[in-house]
Structure 1
Amino acid sequence: MKILLTILVLALLGDRAFAGLLNIFTADTDYNAAQLMDSLFGALANGTKVILNGGSTGNPLSVDITFWCGNRNNPNLVQTMLDDSSLTSKISTSKPLVFIIHGWMDNRSRNWIKDMTTDYFKYFDTNLCVVDWGNLAIFGYYMAFNHTFTVAKYLSQFISSVSSKGIAMKDITLVGHSMGAQIAGNAGSALGGQLGAIYGLDPASPLYMMPLDIGTAKRLDKTDAKYVQMIITSRCFWGVCIADGHENFYPNNGMVPQPNCAIPLFSNAEVAEPILCSHVHAHTLFRLALNPSNVYMGNTCPACLFGLLGKKSKMGVYSSRIAGDYYLSTGIWPPYTI
């Protein structure tokens, strides 16, 4: 038990000290010390509960997986149920719909999700729903991994219900970070690849591709939506080694550490540990790229005559959607453009 606690504490320390080491005791930052302890004891308590309940949390899915929706006219997200009779009062069926899906040990209350929601409404006239599977994410990694398939199935049912009210599948986009990206892929697969787009932000690699590849039928790939983009920032660590999207972007070759994470002390670093800082940097770059003024231009061959001969495409939602693997460099300080 002491070894388990030590491993979990180290993992959470690495992943939870948001905005650099100097901010770990700041109450209004993501993953501060208080949240760290909540995550630690929550994971242990949940693990015990599942053992006692024979592998189940004991809650209905409507409790463990919730959807919080709104749009530019109603930016305060409200809970929306599966087959919600008041759906049209919460979203507009004449506008596109974006889903944001968090990863392991996260939930909808994180600042990065709030910031991404705000920026989506600022730059796009769209509906948006946050998928909160925090009750199932705050477990040990293996158990959370198993839960992702349940979340994906429930999400696909919710999307089908919403689509039946008038939003076409092609107008629905999923944005997932880490395990959330893999949830997006499995939900898209369950819907026959008819979704308009999926953005996989450093899709989780452990148990999906490492130590063995479980296959594209169970992880995000280009067949899961009409357009799939992946942004890789911790390649072969928390993120996948090989991206399988239509367009795959590798900031700084996708390697650890990302430039802002090399000395993760200040607010330019998302997490006070280089590998996990690099992992979460993917959702930071994607969010910043919602602003059309922030251009992250990728090139399929940056070494070919100073990049003049390679194909080019913008990372993020303003992509040219030209299939290929794209490489780019980013800076140390926000907005990380060069």
Structure 2
Amino acid sequence: MFHNILTILVITSCGGRAFAGLLDLFNVNTDYNAAFVMDSIFDVMSNDTKYLLSGDSTNPIETDVTFLCGNRNAPNLTQTVINDAGLSSKLVTSKPIVFITHGWLDNGNKIWIRSMAADYLKFVDTNVCIVNWSNLCLYGYALAANHTFRVGAYLSSFITYLNRQGIPLNKVTLVGHSLGAHISGHAGRYLGGKIAAIYGLDPAGPLFTLPFDVGPAKRLDSSDAQYVQMIITSRCTTGVCVGDGHENFYPTGGFVPQPNCVLPLFGNSETFEPLTCSHAHACTLFRMALNPQNVFSGKKCSSYSLYLLELCLFNKSTKMGIYTSRVGGDFYLITSMFEPYT
């Protein structure tokens, strides 16, 4: 019965009453209930959670978390380890480096993450590493969320190793989706907030934000890097309600459904379901924005309603993504239904 109710809520989330009902489900009083909602929603979408792991991993962390790295001269990303004897064939230590981290139930071989890595190499002369923590994210949501601390700690160890090889911390950028955003935040915190930038792509909300606020020490926030940007596309559902970055972008208010997810069968959507489509759309928008020709200009404003009323017309604007002018604040913008969504 619970699954049937969730199915109705999720599929009809573009309606006001259904969206409010979904928010009510996430505004629960305990961490357990939030994790249960996440697991149940996934069960609705997949009809099979039998493969989800239970208990905890006994593998060494270097088995459960791997780094696939390369650059323009070595675009076929290959596994790279701490004290890697072949490091010089995989990374150019005189250039910056970007780490891309996936979220819950995902992995480093998915098309979206490979496409993002390829676009980074196309538009930015940098090293790129994919953080693959799939062995630790194929658990129930609560366990996977708890694993983010271990993954973040190991990522910080790998970055420390690369720092000793000549890559300064101020040349390190982290990009993370969902739980991967918080992994990036953990790593940045372990490194004293000294890395250059973190881009949180719809950071996961359940277990990290209200109504049970875990505090900035346990989630991505502006103290984790010299510059933190958040792109929020499933506000108060699978994503956080409010951004904690130096700059926070809310495409179409940050709400579900994003424009290309209203009619997923007819648009260029990430999935056929509005909630997960909207959650994933932050990754697509960020990847589109890597191309300097795709300009997503956000207007600084205190709320989406004021933005829609055009009461922020004379406020500052900046570009969403890596080409931001870093003026700071909350920014709203409207995106379109079709690629490149500008």
**2:271 match:** 271
Question: AA paired with 2:235?
Answer: R
**2:88 match:** 88
Is 1:127 the counterpart of 2:136? The answer is no
**1:323 match:** 328
Equivalent position SS for 2:103: coil
Question: AA paired with 1:319?
Answer: T
Q: Answer whether contact 2:178 2:204 (CA < 8 A) is retained.
A: yes
Measured in 2, the distance between the counterparts of 1:131 and 1:13 equals 28
- Normalising by structure 1, what TM-score? 0.86
- Kindly report which structure 2 residues correspond to 1:1-338, keeping only aligned pairs within 5 A, or say none: 8=39, 10-11=41-42, 14=45, 40-43=49-52, 46-47=53-54, 50=55, 56-266=56-266, 268-301=268-301, 302=307, 307-337=312-342
In structure 2, the CA distance between the partners of 1:239 and 1:93, relative to structure 1 (3 Å rule), is same
Compute the displacement of 1:13 (Å).
5.4
Q: Answer whether contact 2:296 2:319 (CA < 8 A) is retained.
A: yes
Measured in 2, the distance between the counterparts of 1:86 and 1:235 equals 43
Measured in 2, the distance between the counterparts of 1:282 and 1:275 equals 12
Q: Deviations over 1:37-95 (max 9, x none)?
A: 6xx3431xx21xx2xxxxx3121111100001000110001101123232222100010
Compute the displacement of 1:211 (Å).
3.3
Measured in 2, the distance between the counterparts of 1:304 and 1:174 equals 35
- Name structure 2 gaps, 5 residues minimum: 4-34, 302-306
Compute the displacement of 1:104 (Å).
0.2
Q: Answer whether contact 2:267 2:337 (CA < 8 A) is retained.
A: no
Equivalent position SS for 1:83: coil
Compute the displacement of 1:263 (Å).
1.4
- Normalising by structure 2, what TM-score? 0.85
Measured in 1, the distance between the counterparts of 2:75 and 2:107 equals 18
Instruction: Name the stretch that deviates more: 263-272 or 285-294.
Output: 263-272
Q: Answer whether contact 1:83 1:158 (CA < 8 A) is retained.
A: no
Q: Answer whether contact 2:178 2:239 (CA < 8 A) is retained.
A: yes
Question: AA paired with 1:251?
Answer: P
In structure 2, the CA distance between the partners of 1:225 and 1:10, relative to structure 1 (3 Å rule), is closer
Compute the displacement of 1:5 (Å).
11
Q: Answer whether contact 1:304 1:310 (CA < 8 A) is retained.
A: no
Measured in 2, the distance between the counterparts of 1:309 and 1:198 equals 28
**2:22 match:** none
Measured in 2, the distance between the counterparts of 1:115 and 1:147 equals 26
Instruction: Name the stretch that deviates more: 205-214 or 298-307.
Output: 298-307
Equivalent position SS for 2:220: coil
Identical amino acids, percent of aligned pairs: 53
Equivalent position SS for 1:79: strand
Runs of 4+ residues over 6 Å off in structure 1: 2-7
Q: Deviations over 1:213-246 (max 9, x none)?
A: 1000110111100000000001101111110101
Instruction: Name the stretch that deviates more: 87-96 or 280-289.
Output: 87-96
Q: Deviations over 1:107-140 (max 9, x none)?
A: 0110001110111111011100000000000110
Measured on the aligned residues, the alpha-carbon RMSD in Å equals: 2.1
Equivalent position SS for 2:236: coil
Across the two proteins, how many residue pairs are aligned to each other? 305
Measured in 1, the distance between the counterparts of 2:116 and 2:68 equals 14
Q: Answer whether contact 2:39 2:141 (CA < 8 A) is retained.
A: no
In structure 2, the CA distance between the partners of 1:7 and 1:206, relative to structure 1 (3 Å rule), is closer
Question: AA paired with 2:165?
Answer: K
Q: Deviations over 1:264-310 (max 9, x none)?
A: 21451111211111110000000000001100000013458665311
Equivalent position SS for 1:42: coil
Instruction: Name the stretch that deviates more: 164-173 or 258-267.
Output: 258-267
- Name structure 1 gaps, 5 residues minimum: 17-35, 51-55
Measured in 1, the distance between the counterparts of 2:326 and 2:145 equals 30
Q: Answer whether contact 1:99 1:130 (CA < 8 A) is retained.
A: yes
